[in-house]
Structure 1
Amino acid sequence: MAFFLNLGFTCIEFIGGLFTGSLAILSDALHDLGDSVSIGLSWYFQNLSEKKRNNTFSYGYKRFSLLGAIINAVVLLVGSVIIISRAVPQVLNPTEVNEKGMLYIAIFGVLVNGVAVLRLRKGSSINERVISLHLLEDVLGWIAVLVGSLLIMYFDWYFIDPLLSVLIALFIIYNVFVNIKKSFSIILQATPEEIDLEKVHKRLRTIPEVIEVHDCHVWSMDGEYHVLSAHLVLDKSYDLRLQAAIKKRAKYLLHELGIEHSTLEFELKDEHCKDC
């Protein structure tokens, strides 16, 4: 729904921007065209990310959702640079625009993008959050255009139109870099921000049979699905049935900390571990 709303409204924006002569509306139309392509890709990648694991992708397709977020961010970045390059000269030499047309289109823009944001507000993946953020930015941008049209209407401040274009583009670029940073952090297998490794060690050591935890690694597949591998040193040798009980307890504790998948290896305290 968000995809078709955005695509349909983009066509209306291009027509409205040409009709009113507003660079802010044409700039936002370019931005929304990029958004439409990105939402379509994100929609595809989000569905693809739900596929089960196979021999090619043994962890499954979860990172395809992240790929959609990165493509979306790049499209927005390129579009914003184009907007700024066109708008800056017009801040110094503004041209007249149809402020009433701007006002009506801005009201329509707030309504359409507002509905799209409501449709995506419950999304939990980075991909969904990035798209929802961009649509929220669109709502804020249209509110700015609405206010700008009123200022032009009453004060003849025509420089407001290109100035709004620059401010909207800068706001978008800032958020794009924030999201790209988080996406690349996941790709580079950084420890998720919400996971405290020291807390993980302490929680695992609450199991009576576990005396030490080492070679512990935590990373995320898509910003939500966190994975851990660790070596647990036991106080003595236990049979397989008791080891299974210890492992079950450890996995339960890790799940409470937000770790969905864990691989645990048991060692004895006098055992030499070359991975330490």
Structure 2
Amino acid sequence: MTHNHSNSSNKIGWAFLLNFSFTIIEFIGGWLTNSTAIMADAVHDLGDSVSIGSAWCLNKLGEREADENFTYGYKRLSLLGAFINGAVLILGSIWVLSEAIPRVLDPVVPNTEGMILLAILGVAVNGFAVYKLQGGNTLNERVLNWHLLEDVLGWVAVLIIAIVMQFVDWPILDPLLSIGFTLFIMFNVIRNLLATLKLFLQGVPEKNLYKQVLDELRSVDRVEYIHDLKIWSLDGEHNVITIRVGSALKTVEEYKLLKLDIYDSLAMFEFSYSTVEIEFIDGHSTINEKVT
């Protein structure tokens, strides 16, 4: 598990290095080409760089072991990084829209040759960053991967628009592209932010997971009733479950067998932490034990 978390930090570190380096190139290129679409993407990537940098730091801190202050460990710091990432992108997108919308009314002719060169470089750099982050399991990685994939698609769009403007005098395409691209980004960022907020509020991390777990537990022999089933996630990858079940057990051996059966039924869901409480229906006693 620690190895996976370290690998996640390394991937995010690569994404930060590539994104920050290319952001500097974008600002210079956007200024030289007089393109609002490229400047819009430069601002977007600057926000990405800040967000990825904070996500990287928080992801590294999240590798720390559990202690007396944070008994579940520091994995939720990675979730905080995803939230910061989304919030910065929304603020950056609002700024881009405020700059691009006036350009629709008064478009400026950009340097299309420079736009084409930057677009090709943008597809290559961001495409490599997506490749480095592929296969990530944490919400942090998935959010960052979405942003970088959007950047690739955005640069493909810039490339197409620049080629079109090589043959037709339609400078309005430049601000229209930046507006469309920004709205597309905001839609996906807001969706990811809502998913992050749900995890912060300890919501069930996956759709239908609660019902699937409940159905699986009901299929276990000798389980008479189930209540206080609670499922939440630390960071979108490491999920936690607590459950109370009732059974008409008579011996300790029966208790052990039932505990093993419940553990086996939960194994398919790969919970990082599972706590099961078995209650004797006759009311004589209640035995608590953590499933490890």
Instruction: Give the 3-state SS of the residue equivalent to 2:167 in structure 1.
Output: helix
> For residue 206 of structure 1, what is the amino acid of its counterpart?
S
Answer yes or no: is the 8 Å Cα contact 1:120–1:132 preserved in 2: yes
Tell me which residue corresponds to 1:257. Answer: 269
Distance across 2 between alignment mates of 1:195 and 1:243:
29
Q: Which residue of 2 is the match for residue 198 of structure 1?
A: 211
- Contact (CA 8 Å) 1:195, 1:257: kept in 2 or not? no
SS in 2 for 1:154: coil
Are the counterparts in 2 of residues 209 and 235 from structure 1 also a CA contact under 8 Å?
Answer: yes
Is 1:116 paired with 2:129? yes
State the secondary structure of the residue aligned to 1:55.
coil
Equivalent residue, structure 2, for 1:65: 78
1:227 Cα deviation after fit? 1.0
CA RMSD of superposed structures (Å): 1.7
The 5-angstrom pairing of residues 5-44 of structure 1 reads 5-44=18-57
Q: How does 1:172-183 map to 2 (within 5 A)?
A: 172-183=185-196
CA distance in 2, matches of 1:4, 1:219: 33
SS state at 1:167 partner? helix
Q: For residue 86 of structure 1, what is the aligned residue in structure 2? A: 99
Structure 2 residue identity aligned to 1:141: G
Normalising by structure 2, we get a TM-score of 0.89
For 1:244 and 1:272, locate their aligned partners in 2 and report how far apart those are by CA, in whole Å: 17
What's the counterpart of residue 200 of structure 2? 187
The within-5 A match list for 1:225-236 is: 225-236=238-249
The verdict on how the C-alpha distance between 1:272 and 1:11 changes in structure 2, with shifts beyond 3 A counting, is farther
- Tell whether 2:279 aligns with 1:271: no
State the identity %. 44
The answer for the alignment partner of 1:129 in structure 2 is 142
The answer as to whether partners of 1:219 and 1:227 remain within 8 angstroms in 2 is yes
Which amino acid letter does the alignment assign opposite residue 122 of structure 1? G
Cα distance in structure 2, aligned partners of 1:238 and 1:206: 21
Structure 1 unaligned regions, length at least 5: none
Taking the aligned partners of 1:272 and 1:45, their CA distance within structure 2 comes to 48
Bigger mean CA deviation after superposition, 229-238 or 82-91: 229-238
**Distance between the aligned counterparts of 2:276 and 2:184, measured in 1?**
44
**Which range moved further: 260-269 or 199-208?**
199-208
Secondary structure, in 3 states, of the residue corresponding to 1:219?
A: strand
Instruction: Please name the residue that 1:147 is paired with.
Output: 160
Alpha-carbon contact 2:55-2:140 (below 8 Å) kept: yes
Q: How far apart in 2 are the matches of 1:199 and 1:9?
A: 44
- Residue 194 (structure 1) shift: 4.1
Once the two structures are TM-superposed, the CA of residue 258 in structure 1 deviates from its matched residue by 3.7
Cα distance in 2 for residues equivalent to 1:214 and 1:34: 45
Question: After the TM superposition, which of the residue ranges 56-65 and 263-272 deviates more from structure 2?
Answer: 263-272
Tell me, in whole angstroms, the C-alpha distance in 1 between the residues paired with 2:62 and 2:260. 28
AA partner of residue 273 (structure 2): H
Output the CA distance in 2 between the equivalents of 1:244 and 1:167.
Answer: 60
1:46-90 CA-partner distances (Å, limit 9, x unpaired):
222222211111111111111000000011001100000000010
1:172 positional shift: 0.8
Query: Partner of 2:16 in structure 1?
Result: 3
**Higher mean displacement: 76-85 or 192-201:** 192-201
Provide TM-score, normalisation by structure 1. Answer: 0.94
Q: Is this contact kept in 1: 2:139–2:235, CA < 8 A? A: yes
Q: Number of matched residues?
A: 272
One-letter amino acid of the structure 2 residue matched with residue 201 of structure 1: L
Task: Quote the offset at 1:114 in angstroms.
Answer: 0.5
Structure 1 CA distance for aligned equivalents of residues 156 and 214 of structure 2: 48
Q: Which amino acid aligns with 2:130?
A: V
State the distance in 1 between where 2:90 and 2:120 align. 26
Give the Cα–Cα distance (whole angstroms) in 2 for the partners of residues 238 and 201 of structure 1: 25
Partner SS for 2:93: helix
